[in-house]
Chains A and B, each alone.
Chain A
Amino acid sequence: MFIKNFKTALALSTCAVLLISQGCKKSFLDVPPQGQQPSQEFFKTADDASKAINSIYANLRVWNNTAFAPMAIESLGSDEAEKGSTPADASYMNAFDNFTVTATEGQIQDFWNGQYQNIQLCNQVLDNVPNIDMDATLKNRYLAEAKFVRAYSYFRLVRAFGDVPLRLHLPKDATEYNIPRTPKADVWAAIETDLTDAATVLPQNYGSSDIGRATKGAAIALHAKVAMYQKKWDQVLSLTNTVKGFGYSLFPNFEESFRIPNENNSESVFEIQAQSLGGGAATSQYSQIQGVPGNLNLGWGFNTPTEALVNAFEPGDPRMDATIIFRGETTPQGDAIEITGPNPRYNQKSYVPKSYPFIQNQGEDQNVRVLRYAEVLLMNAEAANETGDPTTALADLELVRARARGGNNAILPKITTTDQTALRTAIWHERQVELAMEFDRYFDVIRQGRALEVFGPKGWKANKNEVWPIPQNELDLSAGTLVQNPGYN
């Protein structure tokens, strides 16, 4: 009995084991990533290159690139804006306004991360797209677009932090993860190289399905701004002159040029494209953070214009009403602003009327105006003045003021001084009011060398506040490879 059983049992269990051995093949443990494309399958086709470029533009509108971090780093330090909202709401933002910020403040890390995310996405394209077999013209344009965004991101970094780690390629391995800060002169040089390369390739215009991509004009205008920050006036002059030949023109109505129907208008040199999209697409909260709170509920009411900004406008300058929403006013689009809001003023340039529907965040339709032709004219004016050509400078300035005047000759008298210093001051003032609340003022004043004079009363200190601190986490993680900016230790 035993023997018979043994044989049957053995036969049965052998069957079982044979079945199992099918499962034991090596392939059973080789499981591909689920619902995720392995990286080695990417960057093979023109379509992959196109998607990668899309990711770069999409990333420009994310939180770190358009919301709290830029507001803290690029706006609140200035004399034109303060935190806003209710006092307790995000009160840590005040540290950027009164210059008590320390390296652990989250916005610093966010801003840093936002720029380096852009750079990483660009480096993926710049390192990988050259190997794709595709139309050479399109390939070169993609590379040029990536160089433009990389340059723009390094520009924002070098302005904010001075020396920064310069990554122009993907790290090959762990030994390239932790690199020291590159002197800012080298960073500026790398930015200029990228922009020169980009300008050579990028087209002046795109077909309607590509509006929003970086153009030749955008690359050259940004290059001019980069040169201006380095006081290379000849270069600023020549670059802005080139852009002047590209057919841009100031949009007739200053206030309306910031409204959604007039995005990408004749004055637009570069805008971060935004749109109300569902399905998890990144949306810009640029307008939401600055939107009017309360019953209208357009947003959170941060980054509010200061009294100093109100006072900066010349009497009757229509740009004041176009730049600032005052408590109690009714906007040209018909929104009645409550008289009892927590803040007296809000940013009107980022304003999206109540009538616009949104899916995820209020005002997510609003493009961020990065470079406008008005600024190109003002850079041209400043460069001309610095290089001894007040006539050109005055002509540029008048173009900007004439548009602002809107036909009312009783206001904004023509500037006529040819005294270099007085004209410089006039140009700087024009920048202040023309570009107000566009996140330009803070670094502009530092560039002009007047920061102690203008921001000193708020706590700005020379030899410290020219740059913000390197994020503390970054210092910690670098274990000594990165060194903090002076005054922040």
Chain B
Amino acid sequence: MKRIYTISGLLLLFTFFTTAVLAQTLTLKGKVTDATTGEALIGVTVAVKGTTTGTQTDVNGAYTLNAASNATLQVSYIGYATQDVAIAGRNNIDIKLQSGTNELQAVVVVGYGTQRKLDVTGSVAQVKGEDIAKQSSTNAVSSLQGKVAGVQITNAGGPGSSPQIRIRGLGTVYGNANPLYVVDGAWFDDISFLNPNDIENISILKDASSESIYGVRAANGVVLVTTKKGKGAPSISYNAYAGWQKVTNQPKLANGTEYATLINELNAIQFPADPTTFPDPNKFGQGTDWLNVVLRNAFTMKHDLTVSGSTDKSTYSFSAGYLSQQGVVVGNNYDRITAHLQQDVQATNFLKLGYNAVLQSSKSRDVPGDVIYKGFTAAPVVPVYYADGAYGDPNDFPIGTATNNPQAQLDFFNQRSNGYRITGNMFADIKFTNYLTFHTSFGGEFGQAEVLGYVPAYKATATQLNDNSTLNVSRGEVRNWIWENTLTFDKTFGDHHLTVLAGQSSQRYKSYNITASARNVPFTSDGDLYLRLGSTTTDPNFPRTIDDSGALATYESYFGRVNYSFKNKYLLNASFRGDGSSKFIGNQRWGYFPSVGAGWVISNEDFMKDQHIFDNLKIRGSWGKIGNASVPANLSTLVVNNSAAFTAIYNGQPATGANITQIVPPITYWERGVGTDFGLEMAFLNNRLTFEADYYEKKTEQAIFAIPVLGSLGTGGGTIIGNQATFRNRGFEFAASWKGTIASDFNYSLSGNFSLNNNLVLSTATGANPIYGGGAAATGGQLSTRTVVGQPIGEYYGLVVDGVFQNTAEITNSLQPDAKPGDFKYKDLNGDNVIDAKDRTTIGNPNPKYLYGFSANLNYKAFDLSVDLQGVAGVDVYNANKGLRFGSENFTKDFYDNRWHGEGTSNTYPSANVGGGKNYLPNTFFVESGAYFRVRNVQVGYTLPSAVASKLFMKRVRIFASGQNVFNSFSYKGFNPEIGGQGDQPGINAGIDNGAYPLYATYNFGVNVTF
């Protein structure tokens, strides 16, 4: 006899009073199957409602559980509608779960807890662990690319590096603009230490009301990561892949002959008296393709082994992972070993204890940071080696010293980085009653990183040499902890459901770094790499040096939240957090962050009962305040400058100096974010089609900028950090999904998202004066971005190219009498008949306007296929590589083909003197579209028939092939249009490309095995 109750209004039966009544305990057995296919479901959670008692189904879908005879079972499973079943004295209950989930019943991880999707009044996106593990990214954040509306992921750099993530546009300018990551309750700035395979779920809090509970750390969004827990019968699984990465969309460079031709043209302009450098450019032919010397196809493999399971009293999961990844630069290797340990136990009926720990060890063999750039610029006329085996030396060619031999650079670079880290938390749940729980969690991080770099004494070329070997040692440590305590009240009174959370948090972040160097360290083996073998501190020529630095910040916080719902129709959420931080002083120490949210589930109204269009129709709105404390500690405290730079010299002898080099800084306070969000959620066709739309507005008030101060104050014309600007991100997000079934063994799902964001500066402390940025070497020191009221942050700013001067007659009649034929002709925008800095204007926007993603999953019999597409549009990139020239660097083939080289040859590309004259000034020629579209991920899998698998003593065997970045489309002429921000203020130095890492495609073959 099977009876299934579907109770849509939860928690009606189980209140404090009912559980207080003693009931007879019985042992309950049963099987959970898919209501449509009849297939046994493995790992389904079967819990006694209102208690912490629960279990999971085994591989046959069976479960066994002790429960009170009058209790109710709550049966939940990812992808299926949760069911409540009254036991009503029965000993055997088989349950059929309906797939085609009612999305509203799904549980969403939110700050300090979980909520039914139904109850959420903010904007929260979830990505399942399996979708993350499916990608061949080694960093989980990278796997989110294109998956969530409004979340921009910019991948950059080599193995082990972290992508840049922006949630709903750029929320902060100074310092770290990355979101807060909360991993099992512990807080991090970065999660590159996590193995994607250990992640159960990622929840992204996008609107200010859901972020607000994280107060002063929430301004750039919050990403909640839940690691895997054991589930059901003991299971051993092994996942592995191996494959390779291949550089793709590599820009083509000028070959030997083309290069020699360009250098001759350049010299004819620069040294008109003595123009020809290469009498016969043709003799060089193809020459050396330096990028191919530097880059390679890189091998990668990853192995993960997990043992996990649960009993009715405890869960456990132990996993170990090994990743070995070669970088696409020759010689670059990255090895990572991770372990994830999780256990929890219901010690008594009121006390549950547990822990999560992630251990990580990484090792890398590094390559020079600029070696790809050097490969990009090296002269193709120089051979890698001469016939006698010596390094090809650019100094043997009449091309100056701006380029080097990248092969020699790689060969004499010897640097290793090691990192060790343990992170995790321990927790205890104390249940006072069925509706009142105390949770305490202590977590933290202990990490160590060391870098050992050795430069031998060598001579490769006339300018690539080192007379005295150097050993540089750097060792850094972090010791962080967070202790949080919450009290949760959760109770239903008739039609009313109330959840109240009150909590307290203390956090301490300590980092320490020490660096030292010595010269003349011998090297016969790694055992020699000790400072003590090199020069001493008293060495007159090469004194051994040592320096250290550290940071310490503490936080003390109190927070609370109330969630109320009436008849599952009317929803109200409110939260408040107070944060105190050691980073700020006086009245500015404490910040207060309130939020409110409300929702109306229209489809649950009585008047909607008889309609069959909407399975769900919900509108919601929210408002919240958030803060940002990503600034250096003790900003407003004046300190002594003890810099070694202040060493005086008397009669040749050094004397230590110190002084005060700051002016009294203004009191700095939190950067305050205020956000509003309106959302619409709909589900149709038996929940197979869902649609969600959001409109948001996020204002960053009193944003922290470092702005320049008067040079006459004597602080070196430096900057002063303060609350200087207010800006806004405003936009729309749309997400839709469709689940379809063609036959019982053929189903598919599609999902897509699209978002639009506009960034606008509302006010700045400098008034009408812009805050300039982008003045790095990349732009020849010229300020190429500005932040000014009425425009987006860090927009590109420069001159407008109005063609190219074709001949001297044209120049004579122009406003640029110093120009040469082939130079850019600029527009005199202010009409004063002078071309100068006053003619600069907005020439591009590095803040992307449109993000989109599309995913398809298809299952046919034993085959599965998933495809992810993703793209960015409405964004500009500053291709500084084109004009960043110090001498005879190589050019791209594109430049060679299109350059001006005589009257009438081009009116868009300048002569080879693109880095000289006034051509290098920030201008429209360097600004290109950063839009791209790509096939981010494709995976095809095949699951062996279970009969075959069991012959191999395995439960399940799946083999797969996958590809990442297999197709990319963009018009950008550099390596990759994905360019992150740079320096202390990435927000105002965004998208400036000077030597980016190349884009690469990854091809893997792998297996998933369960024993």
Q: In the complex, are the beta carbons of B270 and A87 less than 8 A apart? A: yes
Compute how far the CA of A382 lies from the CA of B646 in the bound complex, rounded to whole angstroms. 38
Compute how far the CA of A30 lies from the CA of B658 in the bound complex, rounded to whole angstroms. 25
Nearest A residue to B652 by beta-carbon distance? A275
Residue A273 lies at the interface, judged by CB distance under 8 Å to chain B: yes
In the complex, chain A residues whose CB is within 8 Å of the CB of B440: 13, 16
Compute how far the CA of A264 lies from the CA of B650 in the bound complex, rounded to whole angstroms. 10
Residue A52 lies at the interface, judged by CB distance under 8 Å to chain B: yes
Nearest B residue to A340 by beta-carbon distance? B398
Residue B885 lies at the interface, judged by CB distance under 8 Å to chain A: yes
- Tell which of B433, B658, B662 touches A48, judged by Cβ atoms closer than 8 Å: B658
Q: In the complex, are the beta carbons of A51 and B658 less than 8 A apart? A: yes
A-B contact count (CB 8 A): 280
Could you mark each residue 369-408 of chain B with 1 if its beta carbon is under 8 Å from any beta carbon of chain A, else 0?
0000000000000000000000000010000110000000
Q: In the complex, are the beta carbons of A113 and B485 less than 8 A apart? A: no
Residue B663 lies at the interface, judged by CB distance under 8 Å to chain A: yes
Nearest B residue to A357 by beta-carbon distance? B541
Q: In the complex, are the beta carbons of A477 and B647 less than 8 A apart? A: no
Chain A interface: which of B42-50, B636-644, B723-731?
Answer: B636-644
Category for how many chain B residues contact A:
35 or more
Nearest A residue to B767 by beta-carbon distance? A479
In the complex, chain B residues whose CB is within 8 Å of the CB of A173: 664
Shortest CB distance A416–B (Å)? 42
Compute how far the CA of A295 lies from the CA of B394 in the bound complex, rounded to whole angstroms. 12
Shortest CB distance A322–B (Å)? 23
Residue B715 lies at the interface, judged by CB distance under 8 Å to chain A: yes
**33-63 of chain A: CB within 8 A of chain B:** 33-42, 48, 50-59, 61-62
Most chain B CB within a 10 A radius of its CB, from A32, A357, A477:
A477
- Tell which of B350, B548, B633, B652 touches A8, judged by Cβ atoms closer than 8 Å: B350
Residue A417 lies at the interface, judged by CB distance under 8 Å to chain B: no
- Tell which of B462, B485, B660, B717 touches A39, judged by Cβ atoms closer than 8 Å: B660
Residue B494 lies at the interface, judged by CB distance under 8 Å to chain A: no
Chain B interface: which of A101-109, A130-138, A188-196, A444-452?
Answer: A101-109
Residue B69 lies at the interface, judged by CB distance under 8 Å to chain A: no
Residue A330 lies at the interface, judged by CB distance under 8 Å to chain B: no
Q: In the complex, are the beta carbons of B270 and A86 less than 8 A apart? A: yes
Compute how far the CA of A2 lies from the CA of B434 in the bound complex, rounded to whole angstroms. 10
Q: In the complex, are the beta carbons of A281 and B714 less than 8 A apart? A: no
Most chain A CB within a 10 A radius of its CB, from B487, B545, B554, B712:
B712
Given contacts A31-B552, A88-B915, A212-B651, contact A5 B644 (CB under 8 A): no
Residue B18 lies at the interface, judged by CB distance under 8 Å to chain A: no
Could you mark each residue 453-465 of chain B with 1 if its beta carbon is under 8 Å from any beta carbon of chain A, else 0?
0000000001100
Q: In the complex, are the beta carbons of B769 and A476 less than 8 A apart? A: yes
Compute how far the CA of A1 lies from the CA of B22 in the bound complex, rounded to whole angstroms. 10
Residue B666 lies at the interface, judged by CB distance under 8 Å to chain A: yes
Given contacts A9-B438, A29-B582, contact A37 B640 (CB under 8 A): yes
Compute how far the CA of A279 lies from the CA of B538 in the bound complex, rounded to whole angstroms. 11
In the complex, chain A residues whose CB is within 8 Å of the CB of B658: 37, 42, 48, 51-52, 54-55
**313-360 of chain B: CB within 8 A of chain A:** 348-351
Residue B967 lies at the interface, judged by CB distance under 8 Å to chain A: no
Chain B interface: which of A118-126, A229-237, A398-406?
Answer: A118-126
Residue B917 lies at the interface, judged by CB distance under 8 Å to chain A: yes
Given contacts A20-B504, A177-B663, contact A54 B438 (CB under 8 A): no
Could you mark each residue 267-294 of chain A with 1 if its beta carbon is under 8 Å from any beta carbon of chain B, else 0?
0000001111111111000000000010
Q: In the complex, are the beta carbons of B400 and A104 less than 8 A apart? A: no
In the complex, chain A residues whose CB is within 8 Å of the CB of B438: 9, 12-13, 16
Could you mark each residue 161-179 of chain A with 1 if its beta carbon is under 8 Å from any beta carbon of chain B, else 0?
0001101001101100111
In the complex, chain A residues whose CB is within 8 Å of the CB of B637: 33, 38
Residue A353 lies at the interface, judged by CB distance under 8 Å to chain B: no
Could you mark each residue 228-249 of chain B with 1 if its beta carbon is under 8 Å from any beta carbon of chain A, else 0?
0000000000000000000000
Residue B131 lies at the interface, judged by CB distance under 8 Å to chain A: no
Nearest A residue to B913 by beta-carbon distance? A88
Q: In the complex, are the beta carbons of B649 and A30 less than 8 A apart? A: no
Nearest A residue to B780 by beta-carbon distance? A92
Compute how far the CA of A113 lies from the CA of B885 in the bound complex, rounded to whole angstroms. 27
Residue B743 lies at the interface, judged by CB distance under 8 Å to chain A: no
Residue B9 lies at the interface, judged by CB distance under 8 Å to chain A: no
- Tell which of B401, B433, B639, B916 touches A33, judged by Cβ atoms closer than 8 Å: B639
Q: In the complex, are the beta carbons of A24 and B640 less than 8 A apart? A: no
Residue A390 lies at the interface, judged by CB distance under 8 Å to chain B: no
**140-181 of chain A: CB within 8 A of chain B:** 164-165, 167, 170-171, 173-174, 177-179
Q: In the complex, are the beta carbons of B652 and A120 less than 8 A apart? A: no
- Tell which of A17, A34, A178, A206 touches B633, judged by Cβ atoms closer than 8 Å: A34
Q: In the complex, are the beta carbons of A29 and B711 less than 8 A apart? A: no
Q: In the complex, are the beta carbons of A279 and B714 less than 8 A apart? A: no
Nearest B residue to A51 by beta-carbon distance? B658
Q: In the complex, are the beta carbons of A9 and B432 less than 8 A apart? A: yes
Compute how far the CA of A474 lies from the CA of B715 in the bound complex, rounded to whole angstroms. 13
Compute how far the CA of A38 lies from the CA of B642 in the bound complex, rounded to whole angstroms. 11
In the complex, chain A residues whose CB is within 8 Å of the CB of B766: 477
In the complex, chain A residues whose CB is within 8 Å of the CB of B633: 31, 33-34
In the complex, chain B residues whose CB is within 8 Å of the CB of A78: none
Shortest CB distance A111–B (Å)? 10
In the complex, chain B residues whose CB is within 8 Å of the CB of A293: 401
Residue B550 lies at the interface, judged by CB distance under 8 Å to chain A: yes
Given contacts A279-B545, A282-B647, A473-B708, contact A113 B716 (CB under 8 A): yes
Q: In the complex, are the beta carbons of B713 and A20 less than 8 A apart? A: no
Residue B506 lies at the interface, judged by CB distance under 8 Å to chain A: yes
In the complex, chain B residues whose CB is within 8 Å of the CB of A51: 646, 656-659
Q: In the complex, are the beta carbons of B430 and A12 less than 8 A apart? A: yes
In the complex, chain A residues whose CB is within 8 Å of the CB of B639: 33, 36-39
In the complex, chain B residues whose CB is within 8 Å of the CB of A42: 640, 658, 660
**54-94 of chain A: CB within 8 A of chain B:** 54-59, 61-62, 64, 86-89, 91
Compute how far the CA of A256 lies from the CA of B220 in the bound complex, rounded to whole angstroms. 63
Q: In the complex, are the beta carbons of B837 and A472 less than 8 A apart? A: yes
Q: In the complex, are the beta carbons of A24 and B916 less than 8 A apart? A: no
Compute how far the CA of A117 lies from the CA of B485 in the bound complex, rounded to whole angstroms. 50
Residue A478 lies at the interface, judged by CB distance under 8 Å to chain B: yes
Nearest B residue to A13 by beta-carbon distance? B438
Q: In the complex, are the beta carbons of A54 and B646 less than 8 A apart? A: yes
Most chain A CB within a 10 A radius of its CB, from B485, B506, B713, B885:
B713
Could you mark each residue 868-893 of chain B with 1 if its beta carbon is under 8 Å from any beta carbon of chain A, else 0?
00000000000000000111000000
Q: In the complex, are the beta carbons of A174 and B666 less than 8 A apart? A: yes
Residue B645 lies at the interface, judged by CB distance under 8 Å to chain A: yes
In the complex, chain B residues whose CB is within 8 Å of the CB of A40: 638
- Tell which of B350, B430, B554, B641 touches A31, judged by Cβ atoms closer than 8 Å: B554
Q: In the complex, are the beta carbons of A121 and B714 less than 8 A apart? A: yes
Nearest A residue to B271 by beta-carbon distance? A87
Compute how far the CA of A64 lies from the CA of B401 in the bound complex, rounded to whole angstroms. 25
Residue A345 lies at the interface, judged by CB distance under 8 Å to chain B: no
In the complex, chain B residues whose CB is within 8 Å of the CB of A177: 663, 709-710, 713
In the complex, chain A residues whose CB is within 8 Å of the CB of B657: 51-58
In the complex, chain A residues whose CB is within 8 Å of the CB of B647: 54, 58, 277, 279, 281-282
Q: In the complex, are the beta carbons of A116 and B714 less than 8 A apart? A: yes
What are 11 of the A-B contact pairs (CB < 8 Å)? A13-B430, A13-B438, A29-B582, A54-B657, A55-B646, A58-B646, A86-B400, A116-B713, A167-B713, A208-B651, A276-B541
Name A's B-contacting residues (CB within 8 A).
1-2, 5-6, 8-10, 12-13, 16-17, 20, 23-24, 28-42, 48, 50-59, 61-62, 64, 86-89, 91, 100, 102, 104, 106, 109-110, 112-113, 116-121, 123-125, 164-165, 167, 170-171, 173-174, 177-179, 206, 208-213, 264, 273-282, 293, 295, 297, 357, 359, 471-474, 476-479
Nearest 10 pairs of A and B residues by beta carbon: A120-B714, A54-B657, A54-B648, A280-B644, A55-B657, A31-B582, A55-B646, A55-B659, A211-B651, A36-B639
Beyond the given A12-B430, A52-B659, A278-B543, please list 7 additional residue pairs across the A-B interface where CB-CB is below 8 A.
Answer: A9-B351, A31-B553, A55-B648, A86-B400, A86-B887, A474-B712, A479-B769
